[in-house]
Structure 1
Amino acid sequence: MTQHVSTPRPGRGRRPAAEVRASVLAAAGRLLLEDGLPAVTFERVAKEAGSSKVTLYKWWPSPGALAAEAYFTRSAPLLQFPDTGDIRADLTSQLTAFVRWLVRDGAAKPVAELLGAAQTDPDVAQAWAEQYARPRRELARTRLERARSQGQLRADADLDVVVDQLWGACYHRLLVLRVPFDEELVPRLVEHALHGAASPTG
């Protein structure tokens, strides 16, 4: 007769900080995309993540800063910058992923709310600039610099202006003009950024 020996269940104990932080960011990201920025409160996020408000106050200066980091964490895997050796294809791929994230995956409203909050909340403004906008801009510049070194762009091409033309156009339509746009815009943006609007004899 075989004797079954039960293994004692370990006590719950305290979760590692990294695990707690990940669950908090995941919960905040879900609330942000589903219900918008006002839903991201320390009380609600703590309840969703099985954490405590004290922990959240310790790690983030405001709910807005938490929402911003949750957005960065949620969007990062979706907005990787490819490098296939073809700058036109890579710009089109990355910008298409960005537009799809905004208009299909529901990020347009949270982005607008976060950028609105950044105008009055210094913590959100700092988080957006230092943890998202500047690093993502640098990813684009690095890819464009590589293309320029390979002769795919003019030696005197202003890479910052190219970035402004591409991603800035999306933010302008989303936040200023408030007009609908979708992935069909992307090839035209890339064409104009790479070749301009002048006629061959202009």
Structure 2
Amino acid sequence: MSDEQQAVRRGRGRRPAAEVRAEVLAATGRLFLEEGLRAVTFDRVAKEAGSSKVTLYKWWPSPGAMAAEAYFARSAPVLAFADTGDLRADLVSQLTSFVRWLTRDGAATPVAELIGAAQVDPGVARAWAEEYARPRRELARERLRAACRQGQLREDADLDVIVDQLWGACYHRLLVLQVPFDETLVPRLVDHALHGAAGRA
């Protein structure tokens, strides 16, 4: 940001906290996805967003926690969960968006870095679990519960296992096996989760 731009920002007077927070998260999300977790520092983000480091220290326990919240905000519209009434189509659509977000839109490395940071930074771990992983898991469970009510899944279907099979398989390939994968994997994941691999009687 240029000195002129910063001067313009200072001349605007005190900005509402919600506006400042939104601009900080936008700057953080951009840095995080383009340059990785190492680029997200309070100094760099404060400069990019025209904010103060004091404000950032007040709102987030660490740059990693700030990056986590920015990732959630940035990914939410990309990973929205539709309900068209066709469970298989909705699962394929959402999971395809997720895989594309990781593999084609460049989120794979930043996400891997963020999950790695969550293993050593309690603030990041808390943010990842409470503000992203569990809420997103619940969105999937809501869609699966609707499918149970509509008779598209058995009433006793283990929804948590289905979620683990689908999204967990992607994280496993990304973080543990570290093997390439793309959206062509999605229909097979969905069909195995919904129909299993047992032979026909």
Q: What is the TM-score when the length of structure 1 is the normalising length?
A: 0.94
State the percentage of identical aligned residues: 82
Alpha-carbon distance in 2 for matches of 1:73, 1:144: 24
Alpha-carbon distance in 1 for matches of 2:156, 2:136: 22
**Residue aligning to 2:167:** 167
Pairing 1:4-153 to 2, within 5 Å after superposition: 12-153=12-153
**Residue aligning to 1:3:** none
Alpha-carbon distance in 2 for matches of 1:24, 1:12: 16
Residue identity in the other structure for 1:30: R
Alpha-carbon distance in 2 for matches of 1:192, 1:168: 13
Alpha-carbon distance in 1 for matches of 2:156, 2:12: 60
The alpha carbon displacement at 1:177 in A equals 0.1
Deviations, residues 108-159 of structure 1 (Å, cap 9, x unaligned): 0011000000000000000000000000000000000000111000122100
The alpha carbon displacement at 1:46 in A equals 0.4
Residue identity in the other structure for 1:13: G
Alpha-carbon distance in 2 for matches of 1:179, 1:147: 32
Equivalent residue of 2:170, what SS? helix
Residue identity in the other structure for 1:21: R
Residue 155 in 1 paired to residue 155 in 2?
yes
Alpha-carbon distance in 1 for matches of 2:178, 2:13: 49
Equivalent residue of 1:77, what SS? coil
Residue identity in the other structure for 1:148: C
Alpha-carbon distance in 2 for matches of 1:54, 1:41: 13
Residue identity in the other structure for 2:100: R
Larger Rg: 1
Alpha-carbon distance in 2 for matches of 1:105, 1:19: 27
**Residue aligning to 1:199:** 199
Gaps of 5+ in 2: 1-10
Alpha-carbon distance in 1 for matches of 2:44, 2:84: 43
The alpha carbon displacement at 1:15 in A equals 1.0
Gaps of 5+ in 1: 1-10
Give the ranges of 4+ consecutive aligned residues of structure 1 lying more than 4 Å apart after TM superposition: none
Alpha-carbon distance in 1 for matches of 2:126, 2:110: 17
Alpha-carbon distance in 2 for matches of 1:170, 1:12: 45
Alpha-carbon distance in 2 for matches of 1:56, 1:105: 27
**Residue aligning to 1:6:** none
Alpha-carbon distance in 2 for matches of 1:195, 1:92: 14
Equivalent residue of 1:51, what SS? coil
Q: What is the TM-score when the length of structure 2 is the normalising length?
A: 0.94
